[in-house]
């Protein structure tokens, strides 16, 4: 896996008491190479006869995988040259955003082109009715097909693993991966964020089979004390990732301003994504190419999505989007 770590993307979610009572809010900035195209796109729900040779697979960015018999309608922020998406939502009120992470697990032999994290975002949305179901879809496909391949159109050396924030009105899952291994943590209250590093330490809820054995075998963990996923698998220092000066730390500080205040609504989330603290709204060689905010209202049983469809949320309007 490429050792160059251009930092970009921030994903947030807030439940009460950080968000207002009866409200859940999600937000993501998609930071990509300067000038790369990214569009708002919609794909309708569909049923496929997967028994025939013509409809039994789907072409992702690099590889074909078995198609699902039913796929759900999705609203995506899609990089123009990829099949997958940086973030999006589906008809059942699930939203997903992903982050690039760099780990101690090397690329698979031959540096193969496998599934990209962006492919997994779209696949999770197309095939999951809840946040947990979407996470399980991503896990199954990750373990079966693996992840890998160039993540920039003109730079074959730009490769990475992925973390995901998968949310619905009931709960969110932070899913962090290292090769075909993974660790997951459930979130049901307050605010949390992910940036470009592993964040799950010893307090995980689920993990891949054989994770600790892999860490021991490859001398990533000495087997003493509680198993620390981020400490074992992160290719850079966990302390640096958690510092107040890091993107992760700056994003966390922005969330903390709303802690126990019931104040982080969709407008406040837009303000966070427009912030230049720690480079949340990014300018330069890597820049924020698109942004998304979602708000669930539990009392009205509604969900609304806003997207910029343009670079730099500090200069762009968040436009309310219809799913269909």
Instruction: Cite the DSSP H helix spans in the chain.
Output: 117-127, 131-145, 211-217, 229-233, 238-242, 247-256, 266-274
Return the ∠ at Cα 162 (arms to 15 and 153), rounded to 5°.
Answer: 125
Residue 294 token pair: 């979602």
Residue 207 designated active-site: no
Sheet holding 87-90, edge to edge: 38-43, 74-79, 87-90, 95-101, 161-167, 172-178, 181-187, 206-207
Distance from C-alpha of 310 to C-alpha of 308, rounded to nearest angstrom: 5
Residue 95's DSSP bridge partners are: 89, 167
Q: Rounded to 5 degrees, what are φ and ψ at 303?
A: -140, 135
With H, G, I as helix, E, B as strand and everything else as coil, classify residue 249.
helix
Token pair in block for residue 165: 């924030």
CA-to-CA distance for 107 and 2, rounded, in angstroms?
Answer: 9
- In whole angstroms, what separates CA 174 from the centre of its chain? 8
Cβ atoms within 10 Å, residue 22: 13
Can you say whether residue 80 is alpha, beta or left, with left for phi > 0 and alpha for psi between -120 and 50 degrees? alpha
Residue 261 DSSP one-character state? T
Beta strand ranges found along 168-234 (DSSP E): 172-178, 181-187, 191-194, 206-207
What residues does 23 pair with on adjacent strands? 297
* 279 three-state secondary structure: helix
Give the residue numbers annotated as catalytic, written as ranges: 9
């Amino acid at each position: 896996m490429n050792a160059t770590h251009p930092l970009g993307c921030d994903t947030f979610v807030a439940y009460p008491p950080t968000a207002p009572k009866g409200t859940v809010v999600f937000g993501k900035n998609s930071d990509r190479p300067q000038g790369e195209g990214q569009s708002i796109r919609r794909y309708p729900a569909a049923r496929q006869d997967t028994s025939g040779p013509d409809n039994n697979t789907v072409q992702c960015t690099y590889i074909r995988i078995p198609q699902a018999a039913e796929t759900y309608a999705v609203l995506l922020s899609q990089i123009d040259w990829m099949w997958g998406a940086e973030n999006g939502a589906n008809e059942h009120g699930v939203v997903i955003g992903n982050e690039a992470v760099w780990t101690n697990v090397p690329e698979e032999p031959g540096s193969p082109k496998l599934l990209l994290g962006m492919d997994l975002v779209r696949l999770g949305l197309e095939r999951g009715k809840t946040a947990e179901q979407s996470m399980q879809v991503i896990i199954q496909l990750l373990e079966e097909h693996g992840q890998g391949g160039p993540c920039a159109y003109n730079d074959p050396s730009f490769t990475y693993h992925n973390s995901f924030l998968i949310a619905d009105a009931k709960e969110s899952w932070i899913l962090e991966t290292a090769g075909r291994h993974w660790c997951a943590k459930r979130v049901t209250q307050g605010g949390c964020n992910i940036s470009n590093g592993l964040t799950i330490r010893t307090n995980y809820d689920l993990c891949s089979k054989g994770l600790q054995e892999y860490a021991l075998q490859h001398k990533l963990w000495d087997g003493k004390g509680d198993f620390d996923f981020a400490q074992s698998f992160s290719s850079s220092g966990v302390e640096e990732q958690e510092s107040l000066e890091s993107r992760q730390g700056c994003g966390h500080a922005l969330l903390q301003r709303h802690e126990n205040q019931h104040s982080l609504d969709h407008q406040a989330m837009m303000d966070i994504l427009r912030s230049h603290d720690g480079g949340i709204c990014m300018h330069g060689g890597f820049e924020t190419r698109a942004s998304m905010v979602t708000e669930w209202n539990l009392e009205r049983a509604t969900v609304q999505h806003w997207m910029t469809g343009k670079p730099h949320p500090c200069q762009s309007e968040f436009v309310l989007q219809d799913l269909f």
